[in-house]
Amino acid sequence: MSKMPQVLLILCFAGAANALYKQWIPNTNYENKTNWDKGDVPCGSDIVQFSSQRKVSVFVETSHAVQEMMLPMDGEIILNSGAGFYVVAGQDPDCGTGVKTKFKNSEALQWLNPTLWQTAATQNDLLDGNFLFSVHEEMVPCQQDDVVFKALSSFRVDTSSNQNTIPVKSLSVLGKVFESKSEFSEYLSSDSGQLQFHGSSAVTVGNPGCGDPTGCECGNSVNHERICSAVTCGSLSCETPLLPVGHCCEVCGAIVTIHYTDGFNLQNYRERIRHLFLILPQYKSIQLGMSKVLKPQRLMRIIPYGSSPEIQVVILDGETGKLSEALAQDMIQDIKAHGSKLGITGADIQTSSEPGSSAGTVVGAVCGVLLVIALVVIVVVLIRKGVVQMPPLPSMPAMPSLPTLSLFKRNINVDDDLNGAIDRGFDNPMFDKPDMLSNIPGVSSTDSIFMTQTGVHFVNPAYDENETDFTV
Ligand SMILES: *[C@@H]1O[C@H](CO)[C@@H](O)[C@H](O)[C@H]1NC(C)=O
């Protein structure tokens, strides 16, 4: 009786560790050079211009000298503590004669643009710049992810998508974390919320995190087209490019597809691969993304018959894929040796250097074999009866994906496996850091933001049809 709640607790914990953090990269900060049409932050001799018609939420970190400032009709300037504007009498000697400089348009930045997000496993990793690679669909926040807009910054994002809502687990803006649906929809209707988020779909928070230790599907495939419309694919230099599930472009590299049981733990396995392989000098240039995807199933790699959840590991090396293949082979060796302990029943490799490489097929599902046998029997019977005519066989590799042997027993004891997952015993540096959440700058220092909640909101009273000059 008393064992059950314990097990549940552990599962919940493991599940909680499975969500990823997705951080929005662009900002509408005054100090960011790329936000100004002259490519520089305005100085004391300059005339600063915000387009009158544009909605904008600007974060100002420090204090700035300006000559003159034109404000938009509807907008807000959020001042960090100590930030502000002042006027220099005459010319600012450090600034030259002065120019008229415009704040650029950030109207077109799309939530569903994968190039505008960074992914990390923890908040610390976000701060340290330890970002994870993933397929394009998963670069954009998944439904179980925590979304982060950097603490000392503002932004404007178009949340149009193919659905009415964009569900996520939590979302933080200006250092405040929203986890409740009602609280965030209230924020969305506030002045700041309306300036920061626009578009046809509403972001909703409070979606449950990933409660499945084996991982959760991202849920962004409904928006695949929109996501990929923002991506430009590079040219490839390999024989057989691969198309990972959820990716917009073909790649040169390797894909390891892992078949798992309930004892599998995605987060732990990701850490294992990092510790065993990715930290090795020879794999420095490797990009590796690992997630649960719905893989289309094909009999003999040709005939589609539905899809099943698998762990997809995408490995890229930026070149022909040889290095990726070496890592994939290393992973297969590791799976052969420890797979049953890790909750892995089998794995397939696809590489871009060897078309249809059969060497990589490690194991397979018994029922897969049975299905193939059944199909072969049916076809043979039909041919005998003259219903089907035998086509001339193309030079197909001899049933490369046919799983012929099962390395690991299918009837793995779940209890054993669960224990194995819990005290696997490879060292995880993330758990060695005490209170890793308490020392994140910006999270605890809410008092450094001046009027975080509302900002300094203004509807320009002096606005007229022409540009309003607001001299500070
Ligand atoms: C400045 O803004 C651009 C685009 O919005 C963004 O990519 C970049 O990371 C920002 N730089 C800083 C220092 O915040």
Q: Does the structure show a pLDDT above 90 at 304?
A: no
Distance CA 228, CA 162 (A): 13
Q: What is the DSSP letter of 275?
A: I
Same domain flag for 54 and 121 = no
Q: Whose structure tokens read 């190039």?
A: 115
Please tell me the residue having the least CA distance from ligand 1 atom 12: 32
CA 33 to ligand 1: nearest atom: 1
Query: How big is the chain, counted in residues?
Result: 472
Q: What is the pLDDT of residues 100-111, one digit of tens each?
A: 999 998 889 999
Q: Whose CA is nearest to atom 8 of ligand 1?
A: 26
Output the CA 109–ligand 1 centroid distance in Å.
Answer: 13
pLDDT class of 97 with cuts at 50, 70, 90:
confident
DSSP string, 195-212: HHEESSSEEE--------
Residue 317 resides in a domain: yes
**Pairing mode, if any, of strands 456-459 and 74-79?**
antiparallel
Could you give the 3-state DSSP secondary structure of residue 47?
strand
Q: State pTM to two decimals.
A: 0.73
Ligand 1 pocket, mutate which of 24, 27, 33 (most atoms under 8 A from CB) = 27
Q: Tokens 């086509």 map to which residue?
A: 391
Residues 127 and 79 in one domain: no
Residue 431 identity: F
Is residue 50 situated within a structural domain? yes
Task: Name the nearest CA neighbour of 289 among 325, 341, 319, 246.
Answer: 246
- In this prediction, residue 31 has a pLDDT band, given cuts at 50, 70 and 90, of very high
Tell me how far the alpha carbon of residue 69 lies from the centroid of ligand 1, in angstroms: 22
- The better pLDDT of the pair 187, 93 is held by 187
**Residue pLDDT, tens place only, 162-212:** 999 999 999 999 999 999 999 999 999 999 999 999 999 999 999 999 999
Q: How far is the CA of 28 from the centre of ligand 1 (A)?
A: 8
User: What is the per-residue pLDDT across 403-450, written as a single tens digit (0 to 9) for each?
Assistant: 333 333 333 333 333 333 333 333 333 433 333 333 333 333 222 222
DSSP assigned state of 192: H
Report the separation in Å between the CA atom of 409 and the middle of ligand 1, taken as the mean of its atom positions. 51
- The counts of H helices and E strands in the chain are 10, 21
Q: How many C-beta neighbours within 10 Å does residue 103 have?
A: 21
Shortest-distance atom of ligand 1 to CA 116: 7
In a domain, 102, yes or no: yes
| Structural domain includes residue 218 | no
If you average pLDDT over every residue of the chain, what do you get? 78
Let me know whether 138 and 39 are in one domain: no
Question: Does residue 241 share a domain with residue 340?
Answer: yes
Same domain, 240 and 378: yes
Q: Which residues touch 104 (CB under 8 Å, ≥6 apart)?
A: 34, 35, 36, 37
Number of domains, the chain: 3
What is the reported pLDDT for 106? 86
Same domain, 72 and 172: no
Per-residue pLDDT, 432: 37
3-state secondary structure of 22: strand
Average pLDDT over residues 108-135: 95
Q: Are 89 and 115 part of one and the same domain?
A: no
Residues with Cβ within 8 Å of 1's Cβ and at least 6 positions away in sequence, in order, are none
Place of tokens 């420090």: 62
Residue minimizing CA distance to atom 7 of ligand 1: 26
Is there a contact between 102 and 36 (Cβ–Cβ < 8 Å)?
yes
CA-nearest residue for atom 2, ligand 1, is 26
Within this chain, do residues 419 and 303 fall inside the same structural domain, yes or no?
yes
Please check whether residues 275 and 355 belong to one and the same domain. yes
* 222 belongs to a structural domain: no
Write out the two tokens for 389.
């005519």
Q: Which residues line ligand 1 (CB under 6 A)?
A: 25-27, 32, 34
| Within-domain flag for 127 | yes
Q: State how far the Cα of 20 lies from the Cα of 311, in Å rounded to an integer.
A: 16
> Which residue has its alpha carbon closest to ligand 1 atom 6?
26
Domain that holds residue 90: 33-108+448-459
Is 293 a domain residue? yes
Task: State which of 183, 204, 225 marks the end of a domain.
Answer: 204
Task: Determine the atom of ligand 1 nearest the C-alpha atom of 28.
Answer: 5
* 213 domain-assigned: no
Tell me the best of 28, 33, 34 to mutate to test the pocket of ligand 1, counting ligand atoms within 8 Å of each CB and taking the most: 34
Q: Which atom of ligand 1 is nearest to the CA of 27?
A: 5
State whether 92 and 120 are in the same domain: no
Ligand 1 mean position, distance from CA 27 (Å): 6
- Contact (CB, 8 A) for 296 and 308: no
**Choice from 25, 113, 116, 117 to test ligand 1 binding pocket (greatest atom count within 8 A of CB):** 25
Ligand 1: residue whose CA is nearest its atom 3: 26
Q: 363 and 313: one domain?
A: yes
Nearest residue (by CA) to ligand 1, atom 1, is 32
pLDDT at site 203: 97
Please give the backbone phi and psi of residue 166, each rounded to the nearest 5 degrees, phi first.
Answer: -120, 95
The closest alpha carbon to 219, from 264, 178, 168, belongs to: 168
Same domain, 15 and 118: yes
Q: Indicate the pLDDT class of residue 17, thresholds 50, 70 and 90.
A: low
Q: What is residue 9's predicted lDDT score, i.e. its pLDDT? A: 41
Tokens representing 238 are 């390999």
- Sort residue 356 into left (φ over 0), alpha (ψ -120 to 50) or beta: left
Within 8 A by CB and 6+ apart from 223, the residues are 112, 137, 140, 161, 162, 163
3-state DSSP assignment of residue 87? strand
Q: What pLDDT, in 10s, does the model give residues 68-81?
A: 999 988 899 999 99
Do the Cβ atoms of 216 and 144 come closer than 8 Å?
yes
pLDDT at residue 90 greater than cutoff 90: no
Measured distance CA(460)–CA(76) in Å, rounded:
10
* Secondary structure in 3-state letters for 212-267: CCCCCCCCCHHHHHHHHHCCCCCCCCCCCCECCCCCCCCECEEEEEEEECCCCCHH
Residue whose tokens read 């909101």: 457
Which residue has its alpha carbon closest to ligand 1 atom 13? 32
How far is ligand 1, taken at its centre, from the CA of residue 35, in Å? 8
- Which residues share a beta bridge with 147? 22, 171
Average pLDDT over residues 41-59: 91
Ligand 1 atom index nearest CA of 153: 14
Report the pLDDT value the prediction gives residue 436, as an integer from 0 to 100.
37
Q: Which residues of 401-439 are buried (b: 16+ CB within 10 A; e: fewer)?
A: bbbeeebbeeebeeeebbebbbebeeeeeeeeeeeeeee
